[in-house]
Amino acid sequence: MKKSAAISTSLTLFLVTSFAFACDYPKRVDVPNGESATKEDMLAGQKSVKEYVAAMEEYLACLDQEEQDALALMPDITEEDRTGRTETLTKKHNAAVEEMETVAAKFNEAVRAYKAKAE
């Protein structure tokens, strides 16, 4: 009986860890320098930032789905382990949101610099 429980646990851990690499973290985009960028550069930068934000939103949805799938494979998970997993997911989520906010803020700075150059 102990042997089958150990095999079951090992299989569950294998499946759970295989999910851990399913979500690809998007590559951070380069924001144009607003002081020297052309209008085309700024428009391309805007497009890149929008695509980056969309990719990050997909990443966040993937993380949530990945965690739900992993928990479904662990019906006997302890509350302590569940709490730890939730804390880890929250940290990943918050870091991704912070990264999106940083990229958006940098692009907004570039837009202000671009507009100031045009005046």
List the domain boundaries for the chain: 2-118
Residue 114 has pLDDT above 70, yes or no: yes
Distance, C-alpha 113 to centroid of its chain = 29
Res. 67: pLDDT tops 50: yes
* Tokens at 90, concatenated: 């929250």
Give the confidence band of 22 by pLDDT, cuts at 50, 70, 90: confident
The answer to whether 56 and 96 have CB atoms below 8 angstroms apart is yes
Nearest to 9 by CA among 73, 81, 80: 73
What's the predicted TM-score (pTM) here? 0.76
Least confident stretch, 1-5, 36-40, 50-54: 1-5
Flag the least confident range among 18-22, 44-48, 55-59, 100-104. 18-22
For Cα atoms 65, 68, 72, give the angle at the middle one, nearest 5 degrees: 140
pLDDT over 90 at 6, yes or no: no
Confidence of residue 117 (pLDDT cuts 50, 70, 90): confident
